[in-house]
Structure formats: C-alpha cells, structure tokens
Amino acid sequence: SSVAAPRRLAVLGATGSIGTQTLDIVRLFPDRLTVQVLTARRNAARLLQQALEFRPACVVIDDPEGYRQLREALRGTSIEVLQGEQGLCACVQRPDVDVVMAALVGFAGLRPVLAALEAGKQVALANKETLVAGGALVRQTLRRYGGTLIPVDSEHSAIFQCLVGETPASVETLILTASGGPFRTRPLETFDRITPDEALCHPNWSMGAKVTVDSATMMNKGLEVIEAHWLFELPAARIQVLVHPQSIIHSMVTFVDGSTKAQLGVPDMRLPIQYALSYPERWEAPHERIDWARLGRLDFETPDPARFPCLPLAYEALRRGGTAPAVLNAANEQAVQLFLQEQIRFTDIARLVEAALEHLSEPDAVPSYEHLQEADRRARQYVLELAGVAAH
C-alpha cells in the first residue's frame, strides 16, 4: 500500500500553548500522527488527562509531587512514568519515537534537544531558546549524528517554506516580520509604568507568558534573528527585521536576482506546527483561509531601536559570539520572570540584559553544554543581584 506508517511523536511541553496545539493537529490526523511521549513541568492533572486520551508509551513530569500523582493514577496501565531532565533525555531517544516536538520554554529545552539529535531524531523546534543559547553546539550535533531540525516558530517556518526548491547560493537576505507587539505606538515616556497584564496582552497571537513578554519588548524578534542565523546559516548582516502589524506575512526571503518570496496566512500557530509535522507533504486541513478583499492592506515599518533596545542587544550578542547569546538568553529569562513577579520595571529588562552581556560574555567557538550551563547560571545570578541592588 502507498499509505505511510504514522509518524510517532514525543511532545515536550505538551501542556503549554504549542504543546496543546500540537495535540490539536494529532486529533486532525489520527492516521498520520501518533503520540508516544507527553511531558510537562508540573501540571499533572492536565498531563494525566492527555495521557488518558492519547495513550502514549511514556509520560515525563518535572515536579516530584506531580510524579507521585501520575505514578499512582497510571498504575496498572502500560504507560511508563519518568521524572525530570533525565526522563526527558531518555524518552526522546526511544526507538519508537520518530519526531520530537520541542515545545518547552527556555534553556531547559537545550539538553533534551541535544539528546534527540544525538539519537538521530527529527526535531520540530518551537523552543527557540535552544538555538539562541546553544546554536553552535546544536549545529555540531546535527553534523555528527545526522538528525534533522524543522522550524515551528512561524517566521522560521515561513522562511523554510520560501526556501523549498531553492539553493543556499540563491539567498540574499531573510526578512523576519514582527507585529511590534502591544506597545508599538504607546508613548515611550510611559514605558516605565507598563504592567505585566498590559505586556501579557498581545494584539495578534495567544501564547505562553514568557514569549508574550518577549514579544512586547521585541526581545522575541532578537532571539528569532539568532535562531534564524543558526537554522539557515546566514550572517546577521543578511537577516533583517521588519515591523508588520497585521502578522499576515510571516516572513520573507529576497533572492540574488532581486525576487522576494513571502509566506502568508492567518496568525494561527497550528499552521506552522502542522507543516513541521507534515513536511515535505502538505495535508488538507480546515484551518481558516485569508479573506483577501476584507484584508485590504498590509503595512510595514522599520523597528525603532530606542523603543525596543532588546533587538539591537540580540544583534550585539550574535556579533560577540561565544557564550554571549547564552548570557543574553539567560539574563532575559530571569529578567522576564522578575518583571512578571512585579519585582522590576518593564524597562529594566533591557537594562539588566545589557549589563549581563557586557560583563559575562566569553569567547568560545563551540561552547560545550557544561560551558553554556555555567554561563546560563551565572547570568541568572548576576541579574538577581543587580535587581536586588536596584530594589534597595
């Protein structure tokens, strides 16, 4: 028969925004996708519900209390229960897993992604922080073990789609589009007073808290520039950012002959998630189509570095190389957490990241996991100390 065997998935971060939308795609294509592994940090009740629906071979949870609950609840079933980072790294290497959907948040995603690539798996990557902190190491791991990386982030999926049928020598520039977030037109002198609730309200996308705050500072676009650098192997000078408030064009590629291709769609993460799972095929699905006449117009503007200082900071981290992007990422993760806990102001995020980048970046052509982990730990510590000073 011509019907392919279903792709067997490990969904890391199954209870999150990308994770639950990945499971929506599995529900749409029960003959093409099956779930072998589901993981979460601490929402045991949600993970249990998902396990009972999808009947994976294995679930992994970080939280010790959640682990105890799941062991209890799944006793007598064939579902194995594992815990923590060790559990994550073991489950992605299972022989009955074909594709790993990496949808954890932050640096915590790096080790499981490396483990998956070391086992030669296909990784659908939503967790951009993995490539920001460990891009050189991830590329080295790809070269050594022959795994593959497919982007899930909407901009990178768009570029990936534009590149189908093209050669690397034909590519001139990548143009990452950015919505500009909720503060694109807010008076700059009021940025000090931005609250977590205001920052968590994104005009076009519904996402996890961390990436939503990153969108408000535009650090998200900075992280995506670094992500694009490692995914598509282009220098920073050939990766541009363009503000496009409607989020209909998800990104573009300009080629050496002057032609530009763009990928367009309604802002719905299920489209890039599905493409990452169906690639190189496209699967018929009832996702919303663009109503072109109603859409009417698309707008563009250059990002303002005074309004969004995190964007130039990300370019600076890429220029420095070594551990600088890992420091940028860790300082940002810590600062965003402090902002959400109302311990620092919105404008402190860029200030703290800049200080960490300035003081802690170290050269290293391909930082090892241990070096990155140390850089990550020190950057978080540094931000906590600086923020403590600022609070007194």
* Interacting residues with ligand NAD (CB under 6 A): 13-19, 40-41, 43, 62, 103-105, 108, 126-129, 153, 205, 207-208, 211, 269
CA distance 142 to 123: 10
Nearest approach in angstroms of CB 156 to ligand NAD is 9
**By C-beta, is 59 or 104 nearer to Mg ion?**
104
| Apex 366 CA angle, 311 and 173, nearest 5 | 45
Q: At 186, phi and psi to the nearest 5?
A: -70, 140
Nearest approach in angstroms of CB 40 to ligand NAD is 4
**By C-beta, is 50 or 127 nearer to Mg ion?**
127
225's CB contacts (< 8 A; 6+ apart) are 176, 236, 239, 241, 311, 314, 315, 318
Q: Is 98 exposed, middle or buried (0-12, 13-18, 19+ CB in 10 A)?
A: middle
With left for phi above 0 and alpha for psi between -120 and 50, is residue 13 left, alpha or beta?
left
Which residue minimizes CB distance to Mg ion? 153
**By C-beta, is 12 or 79 nearer to ligand NAD?**
12
336 interacts with, out of Mg ion, ligand NAD, none, CB within 5 to 8 A per kind:
none
Strands (E), the chain: 7-12, 33-40, 58-61, 80-83, 99-102, 122-125, 148-151, 171-178, 239-243, 249-255, 260-264
Which residue do the tokens 């510590």 mark? 381
Q: Which parts of this chain interact with Mg ion (CB under 5 A)?
A: 153-155
Annotated binding residue 220 = yes
Nearest approach in angstroms of CB 372 to ligand NAD is 15
**By C-beta, is 230 or 254 nearer to ligand NAD?**
230
Annotated binding residue 148 = no
Annotated binding residue 135 = no
**By C-beta, is 34 or 154 nearer to ligand NAD?**
154
Nearest approach in angstroms of CB 181 to ligand NAD is 13
62 interacts with, out of Mg ion, ligand NAD, none, CB within 5 to 8 A per kind:
ligand NAD
Annotated binding residue 215 = yes
250 interacts with, out of ligand NAD, Mg ion, none, CB within 5 to 8 A per kind:
none
Burial 29-59 (b: 16+ CB within 10 A, else e): beebbbbbbbbbbebbebbbebbeebebbbb
CA distance 181 to 217: 8
Nearest to 255 by CA among 165, 148, 156: 165
Query: Three-class SS of residue 35?
Result: strand
Nearest approach in angstroms of CB 389 to ligand NAD is 27
**By C-beta, is 86 or 259 nearer to ligand NAD?**
86
Nearest to 174 by CA among 246, 244, 248, 231: 231
Nearest approach in angstroms of CB 302 to Mg ion is 19
| β-strand pairing of 122-125 with 99-102 | parallel
Annotated binding residue 385 = no
Query: Three-class SS of residue 363?
Result: coil
196 interacts with, out of Mg ion, ligand NAD, none, CB within 5 to 8 A per kind:
none
Annotated binding residue 208 = yes
99 interacts with, out of ligand NAD, Mg ion, none, CB within 5 to 8 A per kind:
none
CA distance 279 to 164: 10
Residues at the binding site for 1-deoxy-D-xylulose 5-phosphate are: 128, 154-155, 179, 202, 215, 220-221, 224
Residues at the binding site are: 15-18, 42-43, 127-129, 153-155, 179, 202, 208, 215, 220-221, 224
Residues at the binding site for NADPH are: 15-18, 42-43, 127, 129, 208
Residues at the binding site for Mn(2+) are: 153, 155, 224
